[in-house]
Chains A and B, each alone.
Chain A
Amino acid sequence: MSLKLKEINDLIKKAIPDAEVSIQDLAGDENHYSATIKSKAFKGMNKIEQHKLVYKALGSKMGNELHALALNTIES
């Protein structure tokens, strides 16, 4: 179970086109990532809604292929 950094990036960009995405592979195992995402789409949303938007972009991969993704969402 793993997901490439680029795949995560592409999935997020596909769902949130204006997103500035920065992802780090925390353990070098393609399984524990940290992502900072900046987008206008987060405007007017609380943190739960912002993170849900990112989770939605990743679909069923979150919690399956992708074990851990620490999120930091920023409204731009």
Chain B
Amino acid sequence: MNEVVKNKIENIIQKDEVCLFMKGTPDAPQCGFSLAVSNVLKHLKVNFKGVNVLEDKELREGIKEYSDWPTIPQLYYKEKFLGGCDIVKEMFEKGELQKVLNLK
């Protein structure tokens, strides 16, 4: 993939431990799936960086290629792709997300 976009993505996920690539912002999500993941993280009181892909077309397409995952939102923790909306919700319901994110 395009090196510039790849570097951009790597810089983002290296900078913050928890990054959510989403449509809209945590305060104003523009899609129900992005809203759902954002709400799970807020509920768990996780500090996370919301990255609005609607503001950056390169990023919107690039992140799909980077993770080989065709949909948004995408959650990253310590540079690792954790999953999209369904997986994150399922992990949360099973208590796995809390463990992965090292929450009490």
Contacts and interface: CB of A to CB of B under 8 A. Distances in A.
B86 interface: yes
Contacts of A55: 69-71
A24 to B, nearest CB: 14
Interface string A65-76: 000101110000
Interface string B76-92: 00000101111100110
B29 to A, nearest CB: 14
Interface in B18-62: 32-33
Contact of A48 (B32, B33, B83): B83
Interface of A: 47-48, 51-52, 55, 62-63, 68, 70-72
Interface of B: 32-33, 64, 68-71, 81, 83-87, 90-91
15 contacts: A47-B87, A47-B90, A47-B91, A48-B69, A48-B81, A51-B83, A51-B84, A51-B87, A52-B68, A52-B69, A55-B71, A62-B71, A63-B70, A70-B86, A72-B86
